[in-house]
Chains A and B, each alone.
Chain A
Amino acid sequence: MTALAIGAGGLVAYNLLGKPETETEQSNSPAIGSSVNGRNKVVVGLSQEPTVFNPLMVHTEPDDGVLFSMFDALVRMDPKGIVRPNLAVEVPSLENGGISQDGLNWRVRLRDDVRWHDGRPFTAEDVKFTLELITNPDFRAWRTAGHTLVRDITVISPTELTWRMEQPFAPYLSFLTETFIVPRHMLEGEADPNAAPFNQAPVGTGAFKWGNRVPGDHLELVANPDYFGDGPYIDRLIFKYIPDVTVLYTQFKSGSVDLVGQVYISPDNYEEARRLPGKVVEPVLASSVESFYLNLGRPQFKELAVRQALFAALDREAIVGSLYHGVPVVTETFMPQQSFYYNPDLPRQEYDPGKARRILDDAGWVPGDDGIRVKNGVRLAFENSTTSGDHLREMVQQYLQQTFREIGAEMTIANLPPAVMWGDFWTQSRFDSVIVGSTYLIGADPDVTNRLHSKSIVIQGGSGSNNAQYVNKEVDALLEKGAQTFDPEERRAIYFRIQEIVRHDLPLLPMFQYKNVFGRSAEIKGFEANSNTRTESWNAASWYLADGRKKPKSDRNRPRTSRSSSLSRAMES
């Protein structure tokens, strides 16, 4: 029962790494600058400082590494995008009755062997308290979508609870993977949950316990020997804040940082980094997709032919190869390739300026005296904006400016500082076109209503971030159906179709999917990237050191208990 929580995801890593070495006792030999040797700790370098430790409060990516290490959620998302049990003994589904056929009634069964770091038992009351705290109007909660639909939370027993949903909402299961459970006994008596002492020294159920924090410098977590799940195998997990990315990389080289976390290694350092001795440096697919994003409210972009022509004039291979050092991968869709819902059969775009010109000729866009095409009084001229100071994107813009000019389209560069760019200019659709890297999925759920549904257009009175003002009734209907469909296979078909339509309509011209260049000391084993989470440290519980004192038992390659593996099959089917 002890090694059940992380689920089959962990198996992949151990198989890839070969058989785990035998356990050895390593003498402590302190080495200057190297923190791995014999010390059984891992230093993760982050360029942003983790500062929010109440997992339910509003926070950003760098906090996630700490939260994943200290807390557990009911369920977790594995690297393949499949939901696994965590504090729950099984993932609620239609088949196991955890979710009723109409999607409205949920029942979750919990583990009975979980204790908080202070020794108190974890029970269904904690889950109830957590879900209620999120929707407390005075609480500075993070995402509330989905949680606001929950009604009548009922604790059946310490290991079982039920609730009712106001309407069926399939993405909620994914949202629960990032909803960490907090202890009721620590927070219930607090007059102001925003200022509770818990927020500065939290108590969780996770593999690591709170150690100490030096603001502006580092945060130290220590192993929780009573963890109910797999691990931990390192004594201490340290998140070291190094704001300058060059300095972060230098400290990785010199060995004072064992693992480069957010924002990882910059693509221009990749060539050098991969040759560093004693380091493992590899690009890992991220979830964000870079696109040439169009405002369909502009007359220039209303016609499909124009969007098709611009897409044909987009030399993505050259952009990725020359400007991005070949690190990212060209893509045809907004859906990340590691997702269970990624449609691999979309038509491949080819760079073909001749075709682009033909499309525009056929559509009646005639070149004017200055070579810029005109149709019905509309000039094929537009502005393109992105974050100023983003060196690589500025080069992409200059390159596109030329290629678009060759097909008779005039692009003007009008960049803005980030705070202005992503403010009203972006949310109120005041741009012509934008180069943007966006994550479309929330908690790795394929639901993109927020981005592509016509009711999500803010400037037309909606709520969401469909800033392209994309309207397609079929997509609307599919999105509505997808959000209420619980069967993974059935959902997959829906989102495959949505990707097809969007690829055809081209409200955004997909360019590439980002990769983050992960770097770590070769001493660290058990590491596995999971682009369905926002952090590199999602499974620190499974990390161990090649010469460390603790290691996973050699029998860890054997399959999990029948319950969890049958569940995995159920979820994957």
Chain B
Amino acid sequence: MLRFLLNRITQIVVLLIIVSIIGFFILNLIPGGPLAQYALDPGMTQDDIERLKEQLGLNRPIYVQYLDWAWRLVRGDWGHSFRDGAPVLDVIGGHMFATLLLMGTSTAIAIAVGTWVGIRGATHRYSTFDHVATIGAMIALSIPTFWFGLVGIYIFSLQLGWLPAGNMYTVGEESVLDYLHHLIMPSIVLALVHIAVWSRYMRTATLDVINQDFVKTARAKGLSERRILMKHVVGNALLPMITLAGMQLPSLLTGALVTETVFTWPGMGRLFLDSISYGDYPVVMGLLMFSAILVIFGNLLADIAVAIVDPRIRLS
């Protein structure tokens, strides 16, 4: 186990260095940069722009900029945003709650509903329910999220007036109820796709297990169908889902760009988009490293969890 962990950690460090180098250089290849937004300001002279470049250290060779950034990061300094001057970790932290709330809620809905739909689809194979679920999943997967979002806003906000047309809360009137009210539409819209994915995987996994010998044995022992389903089938069918959950874990924190934009949700996805369009290099790099770490650890956690739950797997 220890050797496995050490091995993985070495891999992780190498991976992170490669990701950071590629990210940094690609970012600097994008034309424009953080000072482009001042180019059309009639009062900003070329001298002013040059002075700012110097002050921000942007006139140095790119490898010097990279090494400087990397060395600071190693010492725990993630840098400051070019836009508002706040420390990068504060910027990321400031957007994390919104994303966690939205993604947490929608993932919870997706797992609960998706698991149920998947199991029921497997146990009632080729029933009307199964067909409806299959077609529904195909539709949810093929139609883009923003369409669901815009149609939802049109119907429930503009026509019916039941739900707010976006935002996380009413500014200045925040309350738990207010948050929940705003949470309904984006979390359901976002959950639709996840339910579709989750239910398809769950259905397949359940079908795999349901035909195994040990299920037949359990049935031969005279256990109730309910007991067989809950204890033997679902328990085993959930194993591959742990890996899926591990892969989805990073998205809990990196956010959903499209949904966040349509619903004006101040989360990580939008932060990433904004930081790229403003050329806010420190924040973009911070987010890149942050999500790379999450992806790597999500997978690592899933591997460890599977090994703990499933005695057949040994980590080495």
Task: List the B side residues contacting A43 at CB < 8 Å.
Answer: 171
What is the CA–CA distance of A216 and B267 in the complex, to the nearest angstrom?
Answer: 8
Question: Of B47, B157, B167, which one neighbours A463 at CB under 8 angstroms?
Answer: B47
A248-263 vs B, Cβ < 8 Å mask (1 yes, 0 no): 0011011010000000
Which residue of chain A has its CB nearest to the CB of B40? A422
B246 CB–A CB distance under 8 Å: no
Among B91, B157, B261, B273, find the residue whose CB has the most chain A CB atoms closer than 10 A.
B157
Are B36 and A419 in contact (CB-based, < 8 A)?
yes
Given A215-B94, A422-B40, A450-B45: A254 in contact with B157 (beta carbons within 8 A): yes
What is the CA–CA distance of A214 and B172 in the complex, to the nearest angstrom?
Answer: 12
What is the CA–CA distance of A220 and B170 in the complex, to the nearest angstrom?
Answer: 12
Task: List the A side residues contacting B262 at CB < 8 Å.
Answer: 244, 247
Question: Of B30, B85, B172, which one neighbours A419 at CB under 8 angstroms?
Answer: B30
Task: List the B side residues contacting A200 at CB < 8 Å.
Answer: 84-86
Which residue of chain A has its CB nearest to the CB of B93? A215
B264 CB–A CB distance under 8 Å: yes
B161 CB–A CB distance under 8 Å: yes
Are A138 and B164 in contact (CB-based, < 8 A)?
no
B62 CB–A CB distance under 8 Å: no
Are A419 and B42 in contact (CB-based, < 8 A)?
no
Q: Which residues of A84-119 are within 8 A (CB) of B?
A: none
Are B45 and A216 in contact (CB-based, < 8 A)?
no
Task: List the A side residues contacting B153 at CB < 8 Å.
Answer: 250
Among A214, A426, A440, A443, find the residue whose CB has the most chain B CB atoms closer than 10 A.
A214
A159 CB–B CB distance under 8 Å: no
Given A215-B266, A247-B262, A253-B158: A420 in contact with B172 (beta carbons within 8 A): no
- Interface residue range, chain B: 35 or more
Are A60 and B38 in contact (CB-based, < 8 A)?
yes
Task: List the B side residues contacting A220 at CB < 8 Å.
Answer: 171-172
Are A243 and B85 in contact (CB-based, < 8 A)?
no
Are B94 and A33 in contact (CB-based, < 8 A)?
no
Are A254 and B84 in contact (CB-based, < 8 A)?
no
B284-311 vs A, Cβ < 8 Å mask (1 yes, 0 no): 0000000000000000000000000000
Task: List the B side residues contacting A238 at CB < 8 Å.
Answer: 171-172
B48-61 vs A, Cβ < 8 Å mask (1 yes, 0 no): 10011001100000
B41 CB–A CB distance under 8 Å: yes
Are A463 and B46 in contact (CB-based, < 8 A)?
yes
B127-164 vs A, Cβ < 8 Å mask (1 yes, 0 no): 00000000000000000000000000100011001001
Are A256 and B170 in contact (CB-based, < 8 A)?
yes
Among A30, A52, A251, A451, find the residue whose CB has the most chain B CB atoms closer than 10 A.
A251
Q: Which residues of A198-234 are within 8 A (CB) of B?
A: 199-200, 214-218, 220
A49 CB–B CB distance under 8 Å: yes
Interface segment, one of A140-148, A372-380, A468-476 = A140-148
Given A251-B166, A251-B264, A256-B166: A33 in contact with B161 (beta carbons within 8 A): yes
What is the CA–CA distance of A53 and B166 in the complex, to the nearest angstrom?
Answer: 26
B83 CB–A CB distance under 8 Å: yes
A438 CB–B CB distance under 8 Å: yes
Q: Which residues of A434-454 are within 8 A (CB) of B?
A: 438-443, 450-451
CB distance from A214 to the nearest CB of B (A): 6
B222 CB–A CB distance under 8 Å: no
What is the CA–CA distance of A175 and B45 in the complex, to the nearest angstrom?
Answer: 14
Are B274 and A49 in contact (CB-based, < 8 A)?
yes
A236 CB–B CB distance under 8 Å: yes
List 9 tightest A-B contacts by C-beta distance, closest first: A419-B32, A217-B266, A216-B266, A51-B84, A143-B43, A442-B43, A419-B31, A254-B165, A51-B83
Where the two chains meet, the residues of B that have a C-beta atom closer than 8 Å to any C-beta of A are: 30-33, 36-48, 51-52, 55-56, 80-81, 83-86, 91, 94-95, 98, 153, 157-158, 161, 164-168, 170-173, 181, 261-262, 264, 266-267, 270-271, 273-274
A-B contacts besides A194-B55, A216-B98, 17 pairs, CB < 8 Å = A30-B173, A145-B45, A145-B48, A199-B85, A200-B84, A200-B86, A214-B266, A215-B86, A216-B266, A238-B172, A243-B274, A244-B262, A247-B166, A254-B157, A256-B170, A419-B30, A423-B39
Listed by A's residue number, 15 A-B pairs whose Cβ atoms lie within 8 Å are A33-B161, A35-B172, A140-B55, A199-B84, A215-B84, A216-B94, A217-B264, A250-B158, A251-B166, A254-B164, A417-B31, A419-B32, A442-B42, A463-B47, A464-B46
